[in-house]
């Protein structure tokens, strides 16, 4: 069993933002108000061939944080010191300093190969879902700092728990390996053909609806006579997803700059008295899907004098999950030296409706185009440079976030990855973001410019 890994340290400078406190990016928690240095990933990987038929891969991340830790959001908002003690400006909220950075599983899988040439494999355990080139490509090799939302929202942390079958002809296995080894930004071997069944709620998440997601992928890399490699893929998945919910105060304008608007005549604008359903100001969004209607099965309620006692955690609606399915196409020209990576996907998935009152399955689509050029400096020994430009767009629900808010993204990023040594990479990028703040209702849109930097060391 060999040990390897990599660590990414970041700094995101907010040059300009239409709403500083709403600054947010799906893939990087340090794109936000008052942030500074940030450890995005600190990985340790234990892997190796255990026998001719078993290959082990276990990876964890030391820069992960359990819920309740590492939060830069204020709590107790409004619960502040009395203002007549001479403090002119009230204080907004309090912060905790609960420590994060705990080791969390990323991968824990075994490749069990059936034949001696290892062309046919079953991959069992938690591993990456074979959906989307950018998802399968390791963050260690990716040019841009974050994966594009359009593809990345398909699967939380790109991984899930299940059983996958991969078929890769032997010569193609060597090609997939070389595309990574030769610094051409490949994905590694996820099969020429892949098929899998998995829980579907995301990596390290508990299953909630018993149903599996099914995924399939077909890819074909082609090597031209001059050595140039191109790859085309098609992939899709289908299943049902149970979104997480928490109480919000419904308002209009989600995904726009005027999010939070509550017209006076709306019934939830004001309390209507103690017995009104609007007496409190926040509601759980209603997950509008089928459920297990068996709260009281095997149970004669009439024998008991208080039906308000909840005898078991049941779910009458929604916990069968909402339809969640996508199909994506991928086209790649590997950077020898000029490279293009492009993907687009369409489908439907859980999404909060514009009234912020129900979550249902809605249409989505989005993708990206990334253009790069690989320049190896032989004259001065400065190493390898990858200048790049990426444009991405997405419009659809962010099922992996609480209440599955609508995510509207349009982003342009231009940057350069510099590898002065094989084990050190420095990336600097300028990004113009137009994004929804998915972290906090009413889910406002913000626009801004960032100077992003990352130092990565490989080991």
By CB under 8 A, tell whether 398 contacts a copy of itself: no
By CB under 8 A, tell whether 262 contacts a copy of itself: yes
> Residue 354 and residue 345: Cα distance in Å, rounded?
23
Biggest CA–CA distance in the chain, Å, is 87
User: Which residues, including other chains, have CB under 8 Å from residue 299's CB and lie 6 or more apart?
Assistant: 311
Q: Closer CB to a copy of itself, residue 149 or residue 231?
A: 149
Q: Closer CB to a copy of itself, residue 134 or residue 199?
A: 199
DSSP 82-110: -GGGS-SSPP--B-------EEEEEEEEE
Number of residues counted as binding a copy of itself (CB under 8 A): 159
Q: Which two tokens stand for residue 180?
A: 């990574």
SS3 state of residue 68: coil
Among 214, 269, 371, 453, binds a copy of itself (CB under 8 A): 269
> Residue 187 and residue 233: Cα distance in Å, rounded?
12
**Residue 119 CB, nearest distance to a copy of itself (Å)?**
18
SS3 state of residue 232: strand
> Residue 75 and residue 410: Cα distance in Å, rounded?
31
Angle at 159 between CA 406 and CA 32, to 5 degrees: 45
Phi and psi at residue 157, to the nearest 5°: 55, 20
Q: Which two tokens stand for residue 55?
A: 């290959």
By CB under 8 A, tell whether 440 contacts a copy of itself: yes
By CB under 8 A, tell whether 60 contacts a copy of itself: yes
Q: Closer CB to a copy of itself, residue 138 or residue 281?
A: 281
By CB under 8 A, tell whether 383 contacts a copy of itself: no
Residues from 272 through 331 that contact a copy of itself (CB under 8 A): 277-278, 281, 283-288, 291-295, 297-299, 303-306, 308-319
By CB under 8 A, tell whether 367 contacts a copy of itself: no
Is the separation of the CB atoms in 408 and 370 below 8 Å? no
Residues from 102 through 141 that contact a copy of itself (CB under 8 A): 102-105, 108, 110, 112, 124-126
Of 57-65, 145-153, 329-337, 411-419, which part binds a copy of itself (CB under 8 A)? Answer: 57-65
By CB under 8 A, tell whether 258 contacts a copy of itself: yes
Q: Closer CB to a copy of itself, residue 49 or residue 119?
A: 49
By CB under 8 A, tell whether 358 contacts a copy of itself: yes
**Residue 246 CB, nearest distance to a copy of itself (Å)?**
6
By CB under 8 A, tell whether 412 contacts a copy of itself: no
Is the separation of the CB atoms in 443 and 436 below 8 Å? yes
Residues from 68 through 107 that contact a copy of itself (CB under 8 A): 68-74, 76-85, 87, 89-105
By CB under 8 A, tell whether 434 contacts a copy of itself: no
> Residue 3 and residue 19: Cα distance in Å, rounded?
43
**Residue 273 CB, nearest distance to a copy of itself (Å)?**
14
């Amino acid at each position: 069993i060999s040990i390897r890994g990599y660590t990414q340290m970041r700094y995101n400078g907010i040059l300009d933002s239409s709403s500083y406190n709403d600054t947010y990016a799906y893939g990087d928690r340090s794109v936000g108000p008052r942030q500074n240095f940030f450890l995005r990933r600190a990985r340790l990987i234990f892997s190796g061939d255990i026998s001719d038929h078993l290959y082990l891969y276990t990876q964890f991340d030391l820069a992960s944080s359990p819920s309740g830790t590492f939060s830069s959001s204020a709590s107790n908002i409004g619960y502040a010191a009395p203002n007549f003690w001479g403090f002119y400006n009230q204080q907004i909220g309090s912060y905790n300093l609960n420590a994060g950075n705990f080791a969390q599983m990323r991968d824990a899988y075994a490749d069990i190969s059936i034949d001696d040439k290892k062309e046919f494999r079953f991959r069992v355990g938690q591993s990456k879902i074979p959906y989307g080139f950018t998802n399968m490509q390791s963050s260690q090799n990716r040019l841009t700092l974050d994966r594009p939302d359009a593809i990345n929202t398909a699967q939380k942390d790109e991984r899930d728990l299940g059983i996958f079958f991969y078929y890769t002809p032997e010569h193609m296995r060597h090609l997939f390996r070389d595309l990574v080894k030769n610094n051409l930004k490949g994905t590694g071997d996820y099969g020429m053909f892949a098929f899998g069944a998995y829980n579907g709620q995301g990596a390290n998440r508990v299953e909630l609806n018993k149903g599996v997601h099914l995924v399939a992928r077909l890819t074909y890399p082609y090597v031209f006579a001059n050595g140039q490699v191109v790859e085309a893929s098609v992939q899709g998945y289908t299943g049902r997803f149970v979104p997480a919910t928490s109480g919000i105060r419904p308002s209009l304008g989600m995904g726009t700059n005027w999010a939070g608007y509550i017209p006076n005549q709306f019934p939830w604008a004001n309390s209507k008295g103690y017995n009104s359903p609007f007496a409190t100001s926040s509601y759980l969004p209603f997950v509008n899907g089928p459920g297990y209607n068996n709260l009281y099965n095997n149970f004669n309620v009439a024998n008991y004098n208080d039906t308000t006692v909840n005898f078991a955690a049941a779910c009458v609606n929604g916990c069968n999950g909402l339809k969640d399915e996508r199909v994506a196409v991928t086209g790649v020209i590997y950077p020898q030296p000029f490279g293009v990576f492009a993907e687009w996907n369409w489908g439907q998935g859980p999404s909060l409706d514009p009234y912020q009152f129900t979550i249902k399955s809605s249409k989505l689509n989005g993708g990206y185009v990334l253009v790069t050029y690989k320049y190896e400096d032989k004259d001065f020994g400065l190493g390898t440079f990858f200048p790049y430009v990426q444009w991405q767009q997405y419009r659809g629900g962010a099922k992996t976030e609480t209440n599955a808010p609508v995510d509207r993204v349009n982003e342009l990023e231009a940057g350069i990855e510099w590898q002065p040594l094989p084990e050190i990479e420095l990336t600097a990028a300028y990004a113009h973001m137009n994004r929804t703040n998915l972290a906090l209702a009413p889910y406002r849109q913000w626009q801004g410019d960032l100077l992003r930097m990352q130092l990565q060391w490989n080991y």
